[in-house]
C-alpha cells in the first residue's frame, strides 16, 4: 500500500469528525511528511504524538482536533497491536508497585520547579480548578481548596494528612486559614524541597514518602490528583491504608481524574512521555475498592472545569516560553503543548471526568450535607 492509500484510509476514519487533512479549518492537521500516514496506522496514538513532536504535522487548534476525534469515538480505530499487548501485560504486572513508586517523580515532577511556577497559579496547584464563580486561575484554585476544606469540615488543631501534597499549596492554605496541623507526602524530591520552603514557619511537615509507608492517625485525609498514579492493582491497598490512617470519626476526600470505562493502562504516548505507570480509575474500580471500607457521603463531578484549567495552563506555558526555552528543547516544547492540549480536548469531549468523593468510615450521624 502506497502513502496515498494510507492517507485515504486515515481520511475514511476521520470522516465522522469533519476533520480534513490539509484543510482550511484551524483543527485540520497540516501534514508535512507523507510517512506520517503509514506510521500512524501502524503504531496508533504513540505515532500520532511522536510525529507531532518530530514536526511531521501540526494543527492551529490542537485541542479542538482531539475534541472532535474523541467526541466521535474513533480513537480505537488507531489502536495498534503494541497497545493491546501492553494492556494484556498490565493485567499480570503491577506497574505501580512500591519499588517503582518514585519513577513518576523523577520523570514528571522533577523536571524543573521553574516550569511549574510559570505555568500554574500562585499556589502551584497542579490539579483541576473550580470555576463555578471564578474569573481567573488563582481564584479557581482558591475556590477548589476552599471547597475541599468545607467538605472535610476542617477545624483548628485537627491533624490533617495530604497524600500527594505537590509543592505544598494545599497544606499551606489549610495551616494558615484553619490553624490545623498538616502532614504532606510526595514522591518528588523537588516538590518536597520547595514545599518545605513554602511552608516554613507553619505547622506543616513534608515527607518524601510513598503512601504505603505512612503511619499514624488523622482527623482528616485528602488526596488531590495523586490517585491517578496508584494503579488498579493497588486501589484496595490504597483504600485500606487510608482507612487504617483515618480516625473513626474522620472524613476522607478523594479528588481524582476518572475515566468513563474500566481500563488497566493509560494512553501509551502519555505513559511514555508524560505520566509513566499511571492510569485513570473508573467509577466501578473506585467503588469496588471502597466497598466494605467506607460509606460514600458525596460524589461530585466537575470534569468540564478541567478543560478551562488546562487551556489556562497552556496559555501560561505559551506566554512564558521565551523565559523557559533556554532549559528545554524545541521537541520538549511540542511534547508539552501536545500534552496540555490533547488533555483539554479529552475533557471537552467528556471522555475524562474530575471527581471529588467524600468518604467516612461508618457514615456521618444524621447525614452529610455536601457544600457546592
With a CB cutoff of 8 Å and minimum separation 6, the contacts of 205 are 182, 183, 184
Q: Are 79 and 44 in contact (CB under 8 A)?
A: yes
Question: Beta-strand (E) ranges in 144-289?
Answer: 159-163, 181-186, 204-208, 218-224, 246-259
Supply the pLDDT for residue 88.
Answer: 42
In Å, how far are 16, 102, 112, 154, 206 from 107, measured between CA atoms? 37, 9, 11, 34, 20
Report pTM.
Answer: 0.92
pLDDT tens digits for range 101-141: 556 556 567 678 999 999 999 999 999 999 999 999 999 99
Residues involved in catalysis: 343
Supply the pLDDT for residue 186.
Answer: 95
DSSP state of 282: B
- Name the stretches of the chain with pLDDT < 50: 80-82, 84-93
Rounded to an integer, what distance in angstroms lies between the CA atom of residue 153 and that of residue 160? 11
Supply the pLDDT for residue 276.
Answer: 87
| Overall residue count recorded for the chain in this entry | 372
Q: How far is CA 17 from the centre of its chain?
A: 26
pLDDT tens digits for range 26-81: 999 999 999 999 999 989 999 999 999 999 999 999 999 999 999 998 876 665 44
Amino acid at each position: 500500500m502506497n502513502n496515498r492509500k494510507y492517507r485515504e484510509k486515515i481520511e475514511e476514519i476521520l470522516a465522522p469528525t469533519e476533520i480534513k487533512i490539509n484543510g482550511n479549518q484551524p483543527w485540520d492537521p497540516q501534514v508535512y511528511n507523507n510517512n506520517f500516514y503509514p506510521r500512524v496506522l501502524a503504531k496508533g496514538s504513540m505515532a500520532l504524538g511522536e510525529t507531532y513532536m518530530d514536526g511531521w504535522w501540526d494543527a492551529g487548534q490542537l485541542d479542538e482536533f482531539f475534541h472532535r476525534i474523541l467526541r466521535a469515538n474513533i480513537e480505537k480505530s488507531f489502536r495498534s497491536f503494541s497497545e493491546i499487548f501492553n494492556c494484556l501485560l498490565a493485567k499480570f504486572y503491577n506497574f505501580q508497585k512500591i519499588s517503582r513508586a518514585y519513577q513518576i517523580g523523577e520523570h514528571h515532577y522533577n523536571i524543573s520547579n521553574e516550569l511549574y511556577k510559570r505555568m500554574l497559579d500562585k499556589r502551584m496547584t497542579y490539579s483541576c480548578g473550580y470555576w463555578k464563580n471564578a474569573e481567573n486561575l488563582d481564584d479557581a484554585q482558591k475556590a477548589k481548596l476552599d471547597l475541599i476544606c468545607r467538605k472535610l469540615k476542617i477545624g483548628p488543631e485537627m491533624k490533617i494528612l495530604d497524600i500527594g501534597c505537590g509543592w505544598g499549596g494545599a497544606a499551606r492554605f489549610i495551616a494558615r486559614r484553619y490553624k490545623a496541623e498538616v502532614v504532606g507526602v510526595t514522591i518528588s524530591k523537588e516538590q518536597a524541597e520547595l514545599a518545605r520552603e513554602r511552608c516554613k514557619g507553619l505547622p506543616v511537615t513534608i515527607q518524601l514518602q510513598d503512601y504505603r509507608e505512612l503511619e499514624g492517625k488523622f482527623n482528616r485525609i485528602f488526596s488531590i490528583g495523586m490517585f491517578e498514579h496508584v494503579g488498579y492493582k493497588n486501589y484496595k491497598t490504597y483504600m485500606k491504608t487510608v482507612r487504617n490512617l483515618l480516625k473513626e470519626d474522620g472524613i476522607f476526600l478523594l479528588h481524582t481524574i476518572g475515566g468513563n470505562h474500566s481500563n488497566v493502562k493509560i494512553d501509551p504516548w502519555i505513559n511514555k512521555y508524560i505520566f509513566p505507570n499511571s492510569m485513570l480509575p473508573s467509577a466501578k474500580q473506585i467503588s469496588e475498592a471502597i466497598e466494605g471500607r467506607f460509606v460514600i457521603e458525596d460524589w461530585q463531578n466537575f470534569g468540564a472545569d478541567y478543560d478551562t484549567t488546562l487551556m489556562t495552563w497552556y496559555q501560561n506555558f505559551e506566554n512564558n516560553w521565551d523565559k523557559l526555552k533556554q532549559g528545554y528543547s524545541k521537541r520538549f516544547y511540542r511534547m508539552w503543548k501536545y500534552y496540555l492540549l490533547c488533555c483539554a480536548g479529552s475533557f471537552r469531549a467528556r471522555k475524562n471526568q474530575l471527581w471529588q468523593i467524600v468518604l467516612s468510615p461508618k457514615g456521618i450521624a444524621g447525614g452529610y450535607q455536601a457544600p457546592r
